[in-house]
Structure 1
Amino acid sequence: MSKENFAKVRRTWLGLLNMVLAMSSMTAVTGGAKADVRIAESDVFYERGLGLCGSEILRGTTLEVVQFLLLMGQYLQGTQKSVQAWTVHGLAVKAALQLGLHSRNASKSFSTLEQEMRKRTWYGCVVLDRTLSMTFGRPAAIPDNYVKLDLPSKRDFDESSALVNDKTTFLSLTFFNSTITLYKQLWNVLDLLYGQNIGCDDPLPTTEVISNIFSMEQWLFSWERSLDPNLQLISTFQLDSMPRDPITSSFEYYSWKFRVILSLRYLNLRVLLHRPVLVKFIAASRSQNRDPQDLKLLQQMGMNSMQICIESAMEVIGIVHGVVSEPGWKHSLLGAWWFSLYYTFNAALVIIGAVWVYRDKSLSTTPITAQAKEAEKYPGLAAEALSKLDDGNRLVDRCRYYLEQFNAVLVSSEPDANGAIPPFPSLNSARGTLPPADFGLSPFGMELGEFMMDDDLVAMIDRQGILSMEPGSAYHP
């Protein structure tokens, strides 16, 4: 570019470069800059890229434009502009379909390099589509039967560079493919257990819920066994065994980073998979007309599922807390901060609901297990993790505030000496003072995310009962 004095550089290519720089600035953690500083820096690149490609994004006629829209959608998700993120993602999907990125036949006339670029871009659309459907609680834009291409493959054009060697490049591709196959199951979970977030179906019977969960657990087990040895899932215990001195090998560093990210994606999906059983327990706790037979079935078959849900949520919080508490190179092992925030916040809310179920003697046929007692400390641990996740980030601080309030309700409502617990609380009467005025952002990345006032989250939870976890949406906590 310098040699040509920018004279022969396409505007869309230059716009894409600026969007890469915007994403890099937004997600950087090694420099120690506060979130507001990084957001201001990244916004310069974002506005510059939008200025270069603004007239092209509605046409969507080139591969670069689709790539630009994909990065733009992720960037907007990180700046809490959820309405815009969802709209931009729709443009990316429509442009990808228009270009035939989903079609093997449409790509036949292109070179091997271009075929692979088109395939990887299409799978980028698919992965982001599943992610947004999960986090926003909305129907996916790409049906699963549209996803028929072979997985991305290693080719001769994946050359090594001064920064990343061939071995690391191949590991990155393997990591991408592992995410694609994992999110294939995310589609199945959203489809079978959450009605694709459409919100029109009646709640599934308990037997059908547990049957679906069992079959998908088998698939997840097979997926985990198929992972590359350098991408094996990690536990909080293994975090402690990581080397403390800085790692000089890029392959070893990225192997650790990919393992951490892939583990969080897997654990979050497992929480999502087993959460419908918790929903049923909570619904039973608030029902005046319980079905005794259904409750008995739930108690016999659902407790194991709820334990798995709690274990997975605890591992999510444990991993995030373990990473953000480490100095040096380990602190950069998480992915983009907004995904770590979502995983942690969601896991903490699930644990709060599960602990409440265990305390209700009319729901649980067994005394509070050691696991359930241990889980009680994790909402507080999650709040502590968020305090270290991203310094100066108002959205993270707001979510941390709400977790502290929820945890205060949980602690203040512990069983008395006779084992009795108070009624399910109203948060409006237990939450204490309002959050500071600068917490102007909602912890929800939904269409109401930019407009909720301080009272709205609490009011919504009070209307539905804390942690109502509506079965019609994968996101609603």
Structure 2
Amino acid sequence: MGQYRQLWEPSQTNTGTCSGLCRQKSLVKTFPATVNAVFALASWFAPGPSTEENKVRASGFFNMTQKFDLLEIIDEEVGIESVQLLLLMGFYLQSTERFSKCWNITGLAIRMAQNMSLHMSAHDARKKGLLLCCPSQLEEEMRVRVWYGCVLLDREISMSFGRPLMISGGDQLRLPEAIDDEYLSEVGGKRNTQPSNCPSQISSYIETIKLYKFLGQVLDREEDGAETPTNTCSDMQALLDLDTRIMEWRDALPGHLQYDNIAENGQQDLASTPGSLSSPDFSGQARRLYTRFLHVRVLILRPALEQFFQKQRHTPAIPQARGNPRVARVQDLMLSDIAAQCVLSADSLVKCLDIHIRSQSLAAWWYNISYLHTCGSTLLMGLLCSFNESVVRRDSLELCLRRLSQYTVLSSIATKSYHLLQESSKRLLPERGASNIQTPSCSAVGNMARAPDPDPATHLGQPMTPAGMAPPTSVEAGTYMQYSSLLLAPHRIYACPQQTTSSSNLLPSALDPLLAGSADMMNDGGGGFENVPEFWETPFLSQLEFYQPHDFTLSQLE
């Protein structure tokens, strides 16, 4: 910001100097490109104009960013500002559906960061001779923040595009300090602190890093699972442990980042502490953290839903009378409840997205598409399962499709995802009475916030039908997001060796008859398990770019 402000100073007062990180040699060449990259991202969030106009403006700024000669800079001394520029480009490219370019730019940013030893503490970098002098507090914090920017972008791309992680276990470095820029010291050896009565704007970034550590564990365990023998009990325990940790993370959030969707639905501020009520920024940060939390939790719990789905498909429908209603396997009861929580989390995320998409308070639509795609597949799978409790309508899936359809004018990926989910729903959920669709209603829902839809026509004040889709469809489904975003692949078990807690490892076994569902439920209306296609691979988001709408006709589902 210091360098940017100098652009607007009178020439006679502009000394041409900048302290701290602005002293990097390559700054003169990277700075114009960095400014244009910031403007490109900011254009997406500009109020007033339509999203289409924002898209054109953002594209114009990014085209100017690309005039920057990256190869020339790499030939010289690489500074931290070059990594910052590449990260900005990577985050922007997520909105363009240029997946290969986004992947390659991110990879280059990570390699440059590692070359600068940003993945090490300043102390360790100095011991290895990679850092010549002791950095100031400002410089040290910037190193940490930029490195975790690489970690977050790597995990987002791996999750959304089905690509392998480039950084494995990259969060050993200490977290950034919750200190705003203006309080950081530029004097070597001097350390400032954040005023106690002023929550830091950087705290949301820190909490996102903590949250994405769980996402990294979900993605990392796939790599470890290839060499680990399958153990259903240990896999279930690992899933429960991970869910416990993410719920503890949610409960430990600072007050100004706690999301109160009930208060917001009543047109109150989301921030929950008196000191933050005057700052709408904290409300937006709390909102984004909540949506990310729900999305990551769906991914954590998804293997249980997939196993529950598979068990019901491979278990003959046995009349309830043959079982003792007071006796059931505890493991199956746990599996049912965990699957229910996965579906309920997807349901909550859809309703949260609905509120904020309509109010235009979640402007990063490319994230919304990814979230809706995941929720749609999860809700569809849940609708194909038989849960023993509440009977509700499938409004949640329909709401998910309506919100996804809003982005079809902006994104070909949204168009294909919408068409795919819609056709899957038509084929697998034929006119089965809406009121007869069963959904999980689990006593373990706890304190998960669920925002009622202000539109009574959607019936979202009632419990919704959370659900998803079936297991992965090929051995090549390498990452967990690859696995979880494959919508349908039944009538076979896919041994995805990299998934430790998926249904590919939690192999189907006879489900307790009490939880297997009745023959009437399984065969009602021509839908359900018996009509799931023998083999139909549904790709994750980055693969949708190779498909055309006619690829998703009903005939393909036969």
TM bucket normalised to smaller: 0.7 to 0.9
- In the TM superposition, 1:278-427 aligns within 5 A as 278-287=305-314, 299-326=332-359, 331-332=360-361, 334=362, 336-358=364-386, 366=388, 369-370=389-390, 373-374=392-393, 376-388=394-406, 392-412=410-430, 414=432, 418-419=520-521, 420-421=523-524, 422=526, 423-425=529-531
Establish whether residue 227 from structure 1 lines up as the match of residue 260 from structure 2: no
Q: 2: CA distance between counterparts of 1:340 and 1:33?
A: 17
Q: Which amino acid aligns with 1:10?
A: V
Q: 2: CA distance between counterparts of 1:268 and 1:234?
A: 17
Q: Which amino acid aligns with 2:296?
A: L
Q: 2: CA distance between counterparts of 1:206 and 1:455?
A: 40
Assess, with a 3 A threshold, how the Cα gap between structure 1 residues 297 and 103 changes in structure 2: closer, same or farther. same
Q: Tell me which residue corresponds to 2:325.
A: none
Residue by residue, what CA displacement relative to the aligned partner does 1:373-412 show, whole Å, maximum 9, x if unpaired?
Answer: 24x2111011122244686444334433333333333541
Cα pair 1:324 1:388 within 8 Å, conserved = no
Q: 2: CA distance between counterparts of 1:260 and 1:335?
A: 12
Establish whether residue 38 from structure 1 lines up as the match of residue 54 from structure 2: yes
Establish whether residue 101 from structure 1 lines up as the match of residue 118 from structure 2: yes
Establish whether residue 151 from structure 1 lines up as the match of residue 247 from structure 2: no
Q: Which amino acid aligns with 1:342?
A: S
Establish whether residue 451 from structure 1 lines up as the match of residue 478 from structure 2: no
Q: Which amino acid aligns with 2:135?
A: F
Cα pair 1:267 1:313 within 8 Å, conserved = yes
Indicate the SS of the match to 1:30: coil
Assess, with a 3 A threshold, how the Cα gap between structure 1 residues 70 and 167 changes in structure 2: closer, same or farther. farther
Q: Tell me which residue corresponds to 1:68.
A: 85
Cα pair 1:18 1:48 within 8 Å, conserved = yes
Q: 2: CA distance between counterparts of 1:7 and 1:83?
A: 42
Q: Which amino acid aligns with 1:255?
A: F
Cα pair 1:12 1:65 within 8 Å, conserved = yes
Q: 1: CA distance between counterparts of 2:277 and 2:82?
A: 31
Q: 1: CA distance between counterparts of 2:354 and 2:34?
A: 34
Indicate the SS of the match to 1:52: coil
Q: Which moved more, 1:411-420 or 1:220-229?
A: 411-420
Q: 2: CA distance between counterparts of 1:458 and 1:227?
A: 45
Q: 1:81 aligns with which of 98, 110, 121?
A: 98
Q: 2: CA distance between counterparts of 1:92 and 1:408?
A: 43
Q: 2: CA distance between counterparts of 1:456 and 1:203?
A: 38
Residue 145 of structure 1, CA deviation: 5.2
Residue by residue, what CA displacement relative to the aligned partner does 1:277-318 show, whole Å, maximum 9, x if unpaired?
Answer: 11112333554899xxxx966533200101110110011000
Assess, with a 3 A threshold, how the Cα gap between structure 1 residues 341 and 11 changes in structure 2: closer, same or farther. same
Q: Tell me which residue corresponds to 2:470.
A: none
Residue 227 of structure 1, CA deviation: 0.7
Q: 2:64 aligns with which of 48, 63, 67?
A: 48
Residue by residue, what CA displacement relative to the aligned partner does 1:415-455 show, whole Å, maximum 9, x if unpaired?
Answer: 79954333543679x9xxxxxxxxxxx98432x34323335
Q: Tell me which residue corresponds to 2:162.
A: 137
Assess, with a 3 A threshold, how the Cα gap between structure 1 residues 203 and 48 changes in structure 2: closer, same or farther. farther
Establish whether residue 178 from structure 1 lines up as the match of residue 207 from structure 2: yes
Q: Tell me which residue corresponds to 1:213.
A: 239
Residue by residue, what CA displacement relative to the aligned partner does 1:303-353 show, whole Å, maximum 9, x if unpaired?
Answer: 010111011001100001111223xxxx22x25111111112211210110
Q: 2: CA distance between counterparts of 1:111 and 1:12?
A: 22
Residue by residue, what CA displacement relative to the aligned partner does 1:228-258 show, whole Å, maximum 9, x if unpaired?
Answer: 10111344x44312339xxxx9953112211
Establish whether residue 20 from structure 1 lines up as the match of residue 38 from structure 2: yes
Q: 2: CA distance between counterparts of 1:7 and 1:51?
A: 27
Cα pair 2:308 2:336 within 8 Å, conserved = no
| Higher helix proportion | 1
Assess, with a 3 A threshold, how the Cα gap between structure 1 residues 123 and 392 changes in structure 2: closer, same or farther. closer
Indicate the SS of the match to 1:274: helix
Assess, with a 3 A threshold, how the Cα gap between structure 1 residues 83 and 287 changes in structure 2: closer, same or farther. farther
Cα pair 2:423 2:554 within 8 Å, conserved = no
Q: 2: CA distance between counterparts of 1:32 and 1:208?
A: 53
Indicate the SS of the match to 2:67: helix
Q: Which moved more, 1:308-317 or 1:103-112?
A: 103-112
Cα pair 1:21 1:45 within 8 Å, conserved = yes
Q: Which amino acid aligns with 2:425?
A: N
Cα pair 1:210 1:301 within 8 Å, conserved = no
- In the TM superposition, 1:232-247 aligns within 5 A as 232-235=258-261, 237-243=262-268
Q: Which amino acid aligns with 2:37?
A: M
Cα pair 1:321 1:385 within 8 Å, conserved = yes
Residue 355 of structure 1, CA deviation: 1.4
In the alignment, structure 1 segments of 5+ residues that lack a partner are: 160-164, 359-363, 431-441, 464-477
Q: Which amino acid aligns with 1:144?
A: G
Establish whether residue 188 from structure 1 lines up as the match of residue 217 from structure 2: yes
Q: Which moved more, 1:60-69 or 1:87-96?
A: 60-69
Q: Which amino acid aligns with 1:73?
A: G
Q: 2: CA distance between counterparts of 1:339 and 1:62?
A: 30
Q: Which moved more, 1:71-80 or 1:133-142?
A: 133-142
In the alignment, structure 2 segments of 5+ residues that lack a partner are: 1-6, 17-26, 126-130, 185-193, 270-275, 318-327, 437-518
Q: Which amino acid aligns with 2:299?
A: L
Identical pairs, percent:
24
Cα pair 1:158 1:169 within 8 Å, conserved = no
Q: 1:264 aligns with which of 291, 303, 315?
A: 291
Establish whether residue 121 from structure 1 lines up as the match of residue 146 from structure 2: yes
Indicate the SS of the match to 1:114: helix
Assess, with a 3 A threshold, how the Cα gap between structure 1 residues 43 and 220 changes in structure 2: closer, same or farther. same
Q: 2: CA distance between counterparts of 1:381 and 1:167?
A: 43
TM-score by length of 1: 0.76
Q: 2: CA distance between counterparts of 1:77 and 1:278?
A: 29
Cα pair 2:175 2:206 within 8 Å, conserved = no
